Amino acid sequence: MLARMLKSVPRRLCLLPVILLAVAACSAIEPQAAPPTVTLVPRDTATPLPSDTPVPTATVTAEASVTPPPSETPPPSPTPARSGLIDAVRSVNLRSGPGVSYGALAALQPGERVILLAQDEDASWQQVQLADGRVGWVAASLIVEAGEATVELPVIDVESVQATATAIAGSDVAASEAEAAPAAAEGPGETAADGALRTGVDVLAYCDDAEHGFPAPAGLVAGSTIDVWWTWFASTRAQVEDHLANAIYEVTVDGEPLNDWRDYRLPPERHDDGNTYVYWYVRYGPLEAGEHRITYELTWNEAISDGYRRFGPGTDTTQEAGTCSFRVLPVGG
């Protein structure tokens, strides 16, 4: 009966206990391992960086108020002095007073710059100051003013000059005159005091004009020879060449023309004053005892300029002239 009942149970149900028993058996035989426990390791904790100590903020203080110094009133600009250049063919005398009777203090070279200080009553002489501070007088005709006149020259009373110039024009006159004319006193062939014969004594063709500083030769004896000389200068060599191309010199000794003067010209040369000079030295003699006279005249074919003024036809200076008178002593005289 039981067997019949078992037969009547569905097959699937019959197999269920079997399956459960198998599972239980497996569980008893092989117990299932528990899953491993995962231990969480804490991550490295970053050490916080120390915070920068804040720099104290500079307290801005108000800038001290700078009081500007009081502006100085600029002194008035000095009135520019009048100046001029020595305008002559050779050196001229700086004299202690306004006239040729005053002693010579120095020899001024052509083109030398001077400061104009004053003038005499008729404006024929001007008081000037040199670069070294010396003060004296020069004939106004031998000065050409540089630039335009900006101030009037004061007038100096000649009588007061005469009263104060005695000491200057006294015992030192002879020494000053000799100093003012070194070439004439030391030229080759100059006659000695004993009247010895000399050759080639330099004689300026216009020596009678004392302002050039080269007086007539003294103490020449019969038989001596002279070199008659003159010169010309200009600002540039080109102006000298222009002069040479147009100049006509008529120079005589006792009426005898020195027609070969062109053969005795020296090459143009530039001097320290910035001007270019040309010289002539014409040999003449021997001389006889007695009075002698040189005449000098210069004209031009066409107008020329020396850089300071113009000369020749159509200008204010159409010619230049001068003389030199001297005496020749007999031998033994």
Which of the residue ranges 75-89, 142-156, 288-302 would you say has the lowest mean pLDDT? 75-89
Other C-beta atoms closer than 10 Å to the C-beta of 13 total 8
Judge whether 324 and 293 are in contact, CB under 8 Å: yes
> Rounded distance, CA 179 to CA 93, Å?
10
Q: What is the 3-state secondary structure (H, E, C) of 148-169?
A: CCCCCCCECCHHHHHHHCCCCC
Q: What is the pLDDT of residues 92-132, one digit of tens each?
A: 888 888 887 777 788 788 888 899 999 998 888 899 999 88
Terminus-to-terminus CA distance in the chain, angstroms? 211
Model pLDDT, residue 132:
87
Q: What is the mean pLDDT of the chain?
A: 75
Judge whether 153 and 126 are in contact, CB under 8 Å: yes
Q: Is the pLDDT of residue 179 over 50?
A: no
- In CATH, which of 3.20.20.140, 3.40.50.620, 2.30.30.40, 3.40.225.10 is domain 83-175? 2.30.30.40
**pLDDT mean over 297-322:** 94
Query: When comparing pLDDT for 194 and 209, which is higher?
Result: 209
Q: Is the pLDDT of residue 311 over 80?
A: yes
Sheet holding 247-253, edge to edge: 220-221, 319-329, 290-300, 247-253, 256-257
Q: Which two tokens stand for residue 91?
A: 């050196």
Segments of the chain assigned to CATH 2.30.30.40: 83-175
β 201-204/226-234 pair status: parallel
Model pLDDT, residue 40:
53
Model pLDDT, residue 197:
79
Q: CA dihedral in degrees (286, 231, 105, 169; nearest 10)? A: 50
Q: Which of 289, 304, 298 is nearest to 323 (CA)?
A: 298
> Rounded distance, CA 12 to CA 144, Å?
157
Model pLDDT, residue 227:
93
Q: Is the pLDDT of residue 252 over 90?
A: yes
